[in-house]
Amino acid sequence: MSFVKSVDASDMIKIADTLFKLFSEVIEWVGSSNIVHVVTDNAANYVSAGKLIHEKKRSNWKEIVRLGVTRFATVFITLKSIYDRKEDLQTLMVDKYFTSHELSKSVNGKMISSIILDSKFWEDCLTTVMIVGPLIKLLRLVDADEKPSLGYVYEGMQRAKIAIKTIFRNRKTAYTPYTSILKMQWDKHLKRDLHAAAYFLNPGFFYSEGFVEKANILRSLLDLFDIETLYDDSVAAMQEIQLYRDRKESFGRESALKAIKRLEPGR
């Protein structure tokens, strides 16, 4: 590891083009053929600069390390990219270019070679990628800045659990080790009345065939609103909830029904 240079960017407007020029100077100095990975901040301007770098790469390059779509999932996105390059990597390990290189005779080289040529590694890799796929979709939603995500978290977690069960063909003994970890983290960090209430109050989900009717969902809504403290308005509040639940009066209007899937729950 060696230090190349530092730049005082305190007075610089950090837009994608400016950052791209800074990165390009270093890449040109090091040599594009020697670049393995460029690590940057995950802010939008840095991601855009990274995309510019990728657009100007050599035509025969194949990506393995991928730009992180969400800051929490980069390692799994990279793992998926590695799996997609399985045949190329295995071919490299038996190619004369590698086997005659001093790296193939080093401890690390032998270890990497044994991993890439191990069928069990690729089986585990595929399993991991398939399991994490639904979770990455949920993380992209939660980590996005385009729109409020509160109304989608509960449904997203339900969908992730169903997807994982489907991967293992609903064999309980096969999917339980993974869904139990998911449930433990959900219960510990994310399971809140607010998420269940937002799920209930999102008409796009509530009026769909896939809505999961559970007693704890309505209970979470009532606990969150604390109906008992509304005193004189408690009856009116319960009536409004009932009207919404049964899709009556204004909730049953044709205009309201048409807007169900287009209207964001935060609006």
Give domain status of residue 112, yes or no: no
pLDDT at 56: 60
Q: Residue 52's pLDDT is what? A: 66
Give residue 213's identity as a one-letter amino acid code. Answer: E
Domain-located, residue 215: yes
Q: How many Cβ atoms from other residues are within 10 Å of residue 204's Cβ?
A: 17
Residue 39 lies in domain:
8-61
Residue 124 belongs to some domain of the structure = no
Please give the average per-residue pLDDT across 200-204, as a whole number: 77
Q: Which residue has the higher pLDDT, 249 or 68?
A: 249
120, part of any domain: no
Query: Rounded mean pLDDT of the chain?
Result: 76
What letter does residue 248 receive in the DSSP assignment?
Answer: -
Q: What is the mean pLDDT of residues 226-230?
A: 56
Task: Examine residue 219 and state whether it is found in any structural domain, yes or no.
Answer: yes
Percent of the chain exceeding pLDDT 70 equals 70
The number of distinct structural domains making up the chain is: 2
Rounded to an integer, what distance in angstroms lies between the CA atom of residue 55 and that of residue 51?
6
Residue 188 lies in a domain: yes
Query: What local confidence, expressed as pLDDT, does residue 116 receive?
Result: 93
Tokens encoding 250? 């204004």
- Please report whether residue 132 resides in a domain: no
pLDDT at 114: 94
For 6-53, write each residue's pLDDT tens digit: 888 777 766 777 887 888 888 888 887 777 667 776 566 666 766 666
For range 137-154, the mean pLDDT: 70
Assigned domain for 154 exists: yes
